[in-house]
Each structure stands twice: as C-alpha cells, then as structure tokens.
Amino acid sequence: GENVEQHPSTLSVQEGDSAVIKCTYSDSASNYFPWYKQELGKRPQLIIDIRSNVGEKKDQRIAVTLNKTAKHFSLHITETQPEDSAVYFCAASGTGGGADGLTFGKGTHLIIQP
C-alpha cells in the first residue's frame, strides 16, 4: 500500500519568514495530494490540494508543488503569522482518486516565533 513520509517533524520559524514542509510517497498510481492543518483538539482542516496533472498550485500565502517523477510534494507558507502555528499533515490517495482513503504523513508541528 501507499506510504507517506513527512519532514521535518517540528519546524520553528520567525514570524514573517517562510516555512517549507516536504513529503514523499511510494505509490506511483497516487494522483491526489491534499494538505491538512490541525489545531490542538480540532478537526483536520483542508487547506490546499493538488492533483497529479498539475505541478504547482497557489492560494494566497500557501502553495503546493508536486514532482511526480521524484514522488515528492511540498507545502510552502510565506509571510508566516502566529495563527499559522499548528500541526500540518500531508496525504496521498493510494489508487489515484481516493478509493483507498487517504494515507497521511506523521505530521509537522509548525511553531511561529513572534
């Protein structure tokens, strides 16, 4: 089945700086890669996603890039703000569309230092 590795496990950045979180996946058939943000005690919240026919997608301060050849994708957050502090999870769908559900990485705890 699909395996998703996520790095780093903890990331501390100064407010206003950029943050990058990286993930690799194992199943070349995967074609959907969402990112979720989870605050303490809350639900995972979908913040951005990308499909395999696209190399990059941007939404305001958040962007995701995908390299299908290398089987890795990344989340980029620019101009970080205190409210960006949370745990971020990457995920991949194992059979190209989600019929297996999402396989999640272990999460990255993003800390924004004031």
Interface ranges with other proteins (CB under 8 A): 32, 34, 36, 42-46, 49, 51, 89, 93, 97-107
* Shortest distance in whole angstroms from residue 57 CB to other proteins: 13
* Shortest distance in whole angstroms from residue 79 CB to other proteins: 26
**Minimum CB distance to other proteins smaller for 40 or for 70:** 40
* Shortest distance in whole angstroms from residue 100 CB to other proteins: 5
Q: 94 and 41 in contact (C-beta within 8 Å)?
A: no
* Shortest distance in whole angstroms from residue 18 CB to other proteins: 26
Instruction: Report the DSSP pairing between strands 108-113 and 10-14.
Output: parallel
**Minimum CB distance to other proteins smaller for 98 or for 111:** 98
**Minimum CB distance to other proteins smaller for 13 or for 32:** 32
**Minimum CB distance to other proteins smaller for 63 or for 104:** 104
